[in-house]
Amino acid sequence: MSDCIFCKIVDGSIPSTKIYEDDHVYAFMDVAPLTKGHTLLVPKQHVKDLFEMPEEVARNLYAAAPKIANAIKSAFNPQGMNTINNNGSFAGQTVFHYHLHFIPRYDETDGLKVKWETKQSEFTQEVLKSFGEQIREKLNL
Ligand code: 5GP
Ligand code: ZN
């Protein structure tokens, strides 16, 4: 897509610090990292978000993910790593070409908050069963 910043990174018209590339995916350093080693993995094909991702693109993308995670782990020996993908602006997506963040974690003060307050008391087993049915109805199983 001509006006997509990540398509331009993939085709080399915008510079990036490349980590990995194969026929289907491209991984590069996030220009505004949260922690040392923060990396983005994108499909070479322009796909807006997870909702629009063809299965084959997902297969190829995730096939590369362990390689990248392990390379970052070997390089910097973090305590852990979050892999995060934001879909839609409400969820924090700012670049509308799918990307998976690899964020190595070194300490609790790095500013990433992934803990949430559970609302378990609002969701009884009956309610969860009904939610499950509603979602299953939408899958072509
Ligand atoms: P989002 O908020 O959409 O999940 O994440 C977009 C990410 O892309 C941000 O972390 C941002 O720093 C990164 N980013 C945006 N523009 C560029 C760029 O031109 N080059 C690189 N390397 N990263 C970018
Ligand atoms: Zn794109």
- pLDDT tens digits, 28-81: 999 999 999 999 999 999 999 999 999 999 999 999 999 999 999 999 999 999
CA of 51 to the centre of ligand 1 (A): 19
DSSP bridge pairs for 101: 40, 84
**pTM of the full structure:** 0.95
pLDDT one-digit tens code per residue, 93-128: 999 999 999 999 999 899 898 888 888 888 999 999
What is the spatial distance between Cα 86 and Cα 32, in angstroms, rounded to a whole number? 16
Q: Is residue 103 part of a domain?
A: yes
User: Residue with the nearest Cα to atom 18 of ligand 1?
Assistant: 31
Q: Is residue 22 part of a domain?
A: yes
Q: Is residue 40 part of a domain?
A: yes
Q: Which ligand is nearest to the CA of 29?
A: 1
Look at the chain and report how many structural domains it folds into.
1
Q: Which ligand is nearest to the CA of 112?
A: 1
Atom of ligand 1 nearest to the CA of 94: 3
Residue 104 is part of which domain span? 5-112
Q: Is residue 81 part of a domain?
A: yes
Q: Is residue 49 part of a domain?
A: yes
Q: Is residue 105 part of a domain?
A: yes
Q: Is residue 121 part of a domain?
A: no
Q: What's the pLDDT at 3?
A: 95
Q: How many CB atoms lie within 10 A of CB 121?
A: 6
State the first-to-last Cα distance of the chain, in angstroms, to the nearest integer.
33
Does residue 7 contact residue 97 with C-beta atoms inside 8 Å? yes
What is the spatial distance between Cα 133 and Cα 114, in angstroms, rounded to a whole number? 28
Q: From its phi and psi, is residue 102 left (phi > 0), alpha (psi between -120 and 50) or beta?
A: beta
Tokens for 91? 């969820």
Residues with CB under 6 A from ligand 1: 5, 14, 16, 28-32, 40, 86, 92-95
Does residue 78 contact residue 72 with C-beta atoms inside 8 Å? yes
Domain at 86, CATH number: 3.30.428.10
Q: What's the pLDDT at 141?
A: 62
CA of 99 to the centre of ligand 1 (A): 9
pLDDT one-digit tens code per residue, 1-40: 789 999 999 999 999 999 999 999 999 999 999 999 999 9
6, 95, 99, 103, best to mutate for ligand 1 pocket (most atoms within 8 Å of CB): 95
Q: Is residue 67 part of a domain?
A: yes
CA of 16 to the centre of ligand 2 (A): 14
